Amino acid sequence: MKSGHTALLAVFAALWLIFGCASSSQFAGQPRSTEFRERLEESSSLTDREKWSLARKAYTYAQREQQRSHSEEAAYFYEASLGLLADIDLASIDIEMHRVASFNRRVLESYDQFVAETKDLPAASGLVAVIEAGEAQHSGEEEEDDAPDEIEVYEPRSVSVAVPEPDIVALKPMLPSVPMEMNAKVRNQIHFFQTKGRKVMERWMERSATIFPRMKPILREEGMPDDLLYLSVIESGLNLNAYSYAHAAGLWQFIPGTGRNYGLRIDRVYDERRHVELATRAACGYLRTLYEMFGDWYLAMASYNCGEGRVARDVKRCNTRDYWQLHKLPRQTRGYIPTYLAARAIFENPTHYGFAPLPPERPFECERIYVPGGYRLDDIARAAGHDPQSVRDLNPEFLKGIVPDLGKEMMVRLPGAASESFSEDLASLPKTVIAPISTHRVRKGDTLNKIAGKYGTSVAAIMALPENKRVKSRSLRVGQEIAIPVAEVRYAETKPQTVKEAAAQPAPKPEVTETTNTINYKVHKGESLSAISRQLGVSVDQICRENGITNPNKIAPGQKLTVTVKGETPRFADLPKTESKKSAKADGKNSANKRFYTVQRGDTVWSIAQNHGVDAKTILKLNKLGRKASIYPGQRLVVSN
């Protein structure tokens, strides 16, 4: 009996060791993975050596997740590893260049193999993964048709000029439609989207409902066929924040140089590649140039992918202008047009290929306001009465979350109308200062690599600044100042006063406790509640609430309103209005001393005049103010003399 009991305990102990250890290792891995993700979020502040270490760790995590069949996680870590490797400055890192290049090739080969073996490609996969996975699924002879027979072969659509909608005027000559060709390569790519790439296609189709309505009017104004919508689909997956390892960004995946060539402003705080309308117009300009250069849409789109110089050389080398015969093009470009045609075929007839119909297009609705530069988006959102995250999502082009000061008002999108007091609330908030170059004072133990990592830049970029021409990378001095090519964003600080300036300033007056007063106001012809609210320094909601008004647009001349206003206690509050005016005039004649009032928040000239028993015109005249002049809290006004 004792031996049987001992054996049973041994079995339980073994089971605990097996499942307990497995469970504990599983849960132990989760915090490490979470910590790793947090470090990735801060990759801009890492040194090149730390990025190298993190890239290798990401590769290890990717392989581990691949073995566990966690495709979403594996894709995330593979792409994180590739992204970190792309950010390393090979000229400054103290590791052999061939070692980094060799590891980069190994990650790419493993990623290609992962994509080929994945049953379902993750929905967030980009163009490279889609093309590579499609090629891998139908590997073999280039013209081999592995797609099922039910994918019928369509005759190429006749080339015709797209007709714009009546309410949109084409500003440039209309270009012909992109020909629709169906061959073995296109059929194979359609089959890929029906199987392994199904989640990717469904994600693209979902996004089209909100993105297409913003792009179509611009395409038609620019004289471009609607067929080019699907080029943006495969370029970015209609993801506004898409960013590639080649530093291409936005819906149309412009690299910085090409974007600037076509009028987009791109810097460290503002990137118009992420602006849907501006980037679409720039893409139309670039595609028109390419089409006029080659006279063929397939060659123009191939040039969009790999550059017009490369396509022109291959056309000359192969002695043909037939895209399908250019076998020397890069692998990705050879799969680019088939992927475009496959995506277009599915978008134009989704139910035929086994997909749900496209979701109904939803007009892009938002409130557009223009604000001066220097404000943070979060501050603008709060002043307008909206959620800051919603405002940031609507304005992806503001990279640092601030509106840059470009010498003009900038458009900001809001989820809805701004609050009544938006202008006043925004004006009361501090602005930001964006310094194009920061300064770092060298401390003990600092190296250029460490400094570059701290600011998220590279040693080469630091040394390229003219301000650092005397900086020697191997002999930094403690206390030495180094210019850093990183935009610094901070709230503007008021300039400190000198002792002389402080002495010249009048001594501060004791604060006056703010009181409230009820006034009666008679509506005049042509007045609105909005105008009255500005005059009295209160909100429209307050007037409606205090007077039981349900529709703020319906008020009548002669209507009497009772409104509570803030301000200093009136000197003549205990006297009748007519009597107080006479007293004020008499007092002004008999007294040589002027009476002053310090403007409080919410005050208006009209409310100050009412509280002091004088006419508003008198206050304007005494202070030499025009009828449309503005007053501000802290301003001293003469109320009688």
Mean pLDDT of the chain: 76
Q: Is the pLDDT of residue 377 over 50?
A: yes
Instruction: Please give the helix or strand (H or E) that residue 73 lies within, else none.
Output: helix 71-87
Q: What is the pLDDT of residue 536?
A: 72
CATH class assigned to 38-118: mainly alpha
Residue 39 CB partners (closer than 8 Å, separation 6+): 46, 54
Mean pLDDT of 196-217: 92
Q: What is the pLDDT of residue 534?
A: 66
Instruction: Please give the helix or strand (H or E) that residue 412 lies within, else none.
Output: strand 410-414
Confidence of residue 513 (pLDDT cuts 50, 70, 90): very low
Confidence of residue 632 (pLDDT cuts 50, 70, 90): low
Confidence of residue 1 (pLDDT cuts 50, 70, 90): very low
Q: In terms of Cα–Cα distance, which of 408, 431, 433, 416 is closest to 381?
A: 416
Q: In terms of Cα–Cα distance, which of 235, 204, 229, 233 is closest to 217?
A: 229
**DSSP code per residue over 77-115:** HHHHHHHHHHH--TTT-SS-HHHHHHHHHHHHHHHHHHH
Is residue 235 annotated as part of the catalytic site, yes or no? yes
Instruction: Please give the helix or strand (H or E) that residue 383 lies within, else none.
Output: helix 377-384
Mean pLDDT of 593-618: 76
Q: Is the pLDDT of residue 50 over 60?
A: yes
Between residues 9 and 234, which one has the greater pLDDT?
Answer: 234
Q: What is the pLDDT of residue 122?
A: 61
Q: What is the pLDDT of residue 575?
A: 32
Return the minimum-mean-pLDDT range out of 214-223, 242-251, 525-534, 553-562: 525-534
Q: Is the pLDDT of residue 171 over 90?
A: no
Instruction: Please give the helix or strand (H or E) that residue 30 lies within, else none.
Output: helix 21-41
Confidence of residue 357 (pLDDT cuts 50, 70, 90): very high
Q: What is the pLDDT of residue 591?
A: 40
CA distance 479 to 443: 6
Q: What is the pLDDT of residues 458-473, one digit of tens each?
A: 777 788 777 888 888 7
Q: What is the pLDDT of residue 80?
A: 78
CA distance 424 to 133: 55
Q: In terms of Cα–Cα distance, which of 90, 108, 86 is closest to 98?
A: 90
Mean pLDDT of 479-495: 66
The number of beta carbons lying within 10 Å of the beta carbon of residue 103 is: 17
Q: For the chain, which residues make up each domain, given as ranges?
A: 38-118, 127-248+282-353, 367-429, 434-491, 513-640
The number of beta carbons lying within 10 Å of the beta carbon of residue 359 is: 12
Q: What is the pLDDT of residue 205?
A: 95
Stated pTM of the model? 0.58
CA distance 621 to 627: 10
Q: What is the pLDDT of residue 246?
A: 64
Q: Do β-strands 488-491 and 432-435 pair in parallel, antiparallel, or remain unpaired? A: antiparallel
Confidence of residue 593 (pLDDT cuts 50, 70, 90): low
Above pLDDT 70, what percent of the chain? Answer: 69
Confidence of residue 501 (pLDDT cuts 50, 70, 90): very low
Return the minimum-mean-pLDDT range out of 94-108, 128-142, 166-180, 617-631: 128-142
CA distance 136 to 560: 79
Mean pLDDT of 568-586: 38
Confidence of residue 188 (pLDDT cuts 50, 70, 90): very high
Q: Do β-strands 515-522 and 560-567 pair in parallel, antiparallel, or remain unpaired? A: antiparallel
Q: What is the pLDDT of residues 81-123, one digit of tens each?
A: 877 776 676 655 667 777 888 888 888 788 878 877 776 666 6
Confidence of residue 503 (pLDDT cuts 50, 70, 90): very low
Evaluate whether 186 touches 134 at the Cβ level (below 8 Å): no
38-118 and 513-640 in the same fold: no
Angle between helices 276-294 and 308-318 (to 10 degrees): 20
Confidence of residue 217 (pLDDT cuts 50, 70, 90): very high
CATH superfamily of 513-640: LysM domain (3.10.350.10)
Q: Is the pLDDT of residue 215 over 60?
A: yes
Structure-block tokens of residue 366: 């938002």
Q: Do β-strands 410-414 and 367-371 pair in parallel, antiparallel, or remain unpaired? A: antiparallel
Mean pLDDT of 169-181: 88
Return the minimum-mean-pLDDT range out of 10-19, 94-103, 155-164, 485-494: 155-164
Confidence of residue 14 (pLDDT cuts 50, 70, 90): very low
Between residues 537 and 230, which one has the greater pLDDT?
Answer: 230
Q: Is the pLDDT of residue 6 over 80?
A: no
Confidence of residue 8 (pLDDT cuts 50, 70, 90): very low
Q: Give the chain's largest Cα–Cα span.
A: 119
Mean pLDDT of 356-376: 90
CA distance 193 to 201: 6
Return the minimum-mean-pLDDT range out of 94-103, 370-379, 417-426: 94-103
Between residues 148 and 613, which one has the greater pLDDT?
Answer: 613
CATH number, domain 434-491, options 1.10.645.10, 1.10.10.10, 3.30.200.20, 3.10.350.10: 3.10.350.10
Q: What is the pLDDT of residues 236-295, one digit of tens each?
A: 999 988 877 567 889 999 988 899 999 999 887 889 999 999 999 999 999 999 999 999
Give me the catalytic one of 222, 235, 397, 568: 235
